[in-house]
Amino acid sequence: MKRTLPRSVMLAFIAIVFGLAFYRASGFPKASPFQKPAALVVPSAIPRFESHFASSKLFTQVHASSTIELKDGRIRAFWYSGSHEAARDVSIHSAVFDPAKAQWSSEEVVVTREQTQQALHRYIAYVGNPVVGRESDGILRMFYVTVSIGGWAGSAIATMVSRDEGATWSEPQRLVTSPFINISTLVKGEPFLYSDGTMGLPVYHEFISKFGEILRVDNRGSVLDLQRLVAGGQGTLQPVIFIQNSQTAKVLMRYSGLAEPHRVVTVTTQDAGQHWSQPDKSSLLSPDAALAGVALPDGRLLAVLNNIEQGRDALSLMISADGGNTWREVKRLEDQLAFRTHGDEAHFIKNTQTLVQQSDTATTQHLAEYVESAKRSACGKVSCVFEFSYPYLIRTHGGDFHLVYTWNRTFIKHLWFNQAWLNQHLEKSAHDVLH
């Protein structure tokens, strides 16, 4: 009779192999300094704050959006779209925002599960989480999640490049993050550059233990090195890197652990990632949800997250003037906390009608369809739940900010604001506090 190993022994073996794949006994190769941000043009003095829907397809679920500034100043967004999360029909979509017209293009499919499966010569169950960075030679490189077995914990990363600002893409290839198994690596945070031209890619793991890392990737799509941000078992996910200068950076991470209090976890480096501090819990609340942010030229930090104890029905823009030690709210971007006392479909429809019109004036002629599409994703048999989640924030060379996030799993919402609006809002909030 054929003998099989006990399940506990097999799990232990997998854990050991997985651990060996990522463990480094001592010292990483000397880290290259972080690349300093390009000089900004003189920003506009006229405050601007606009809201749009980046996605346009109705009656589908969308999630995990990201953006990048194109060479001509337009903004290209990416997200995944399908009948539901982890469905076989999920594909990566994209659209382009033209600031001159204040308008989004129609969305288009970038890559499908089937195309990924054919290119990688392996079974792909579903895809998700696209992020795009610009390499030192100007080429765009996309990273996105693929799952062959199990759930998100069994994921791997695929990568492809575009030489025409995202109009067309090369065939996907696997990003080899481990010589063993090569599973449980996911992306969410914005890629960045080191001064030697290599790319830093924030990643995280969910298999057996949850923790964040940074991969260093060259222009051929090869992983040169990895840096563990936090030891396993501390429930940290989806690191966001705030580069303050060539040597200093702060990382904020989603907390998915059980230990109280539930707060965003932080680590810092003073030597371009050669060493990282011990993790510390910040004052930012973490309802086990993703966050986003950027470092401003004057040293302040800007973050967007669900700054609430539980749920994803409120989204806040936060700022820190002391390196992330303390934070204050600039603006509550979305707020449906009061809806928790209702939860019924009638109230959801009424609230959603108002929110859709406030989010994008172009929806007026098709308001009923937009509301019905939102209801399909947000309402179950018993109740409805609002969700504003997975923010992604960038700052352009012109000093403007572009924020995209999941809006009720139905649309990707886009907020466009500038430094003048931010300054105006900060002055107003400071005045309100004093009076």
Kindly report, residue by residue over 345-393, the tens digit of the pLDDT. 999 999 999 999 999 999 989 999 999 999 999 999 899 999 999 999 9
Residues 174/156, Cβ–Cβ less than 8 Å: yes
What CATH number is given for 48-336+386-434 in this structure?
2.120.10.10
CB of 408 within 8 A of CB of 378? yes
Q: State the pLDDT at residue 374.
A: 96
pLDDT of residue 20: 46
- pLDDT for 419: 94
Cis peptide before 261 (omega within 30 of 0): yes
Q: Which residue has the tokens 């600039």?
A: 330
Q: Which amino acid is at 6?
A: P
Extract the runs of DSSP E, i.e. beta strands, from 296-368.
301-305, 314-320, 328-335
pLDDT at 36: 73
d(CA 389, CA 382): 22
Q: What is the pLDDT of residue 356?
A: 97
Nearest CA to 297 out of 345, 254, 339, 242 is that of 242
CA-CA distance, 111 to 305, in Å (whole number)? 28
10 Å Cβ neighbour count for 365? 7
For CA atoms 133, 111, 219, 176, the dihedral sign is positive
Output b/e per residue, 270-288; b: 16+ Cβ within 10 A: eebbeebeebebbbbbbbe
Calpha distance 230→237 (Å, rounded): 10
**Mean pLDDT (10-residue bins), the chain, 435 residues:** 46 46 42 76 84 97 98 98 96 98 97 98 96 97 95 93 98 86 88 96 91 95 92 89 95 94 96 93 96 95 97 98 95 97 94 97 93 95 96 95 98 97 84 56
pLDDT the model gives residue 295: 95
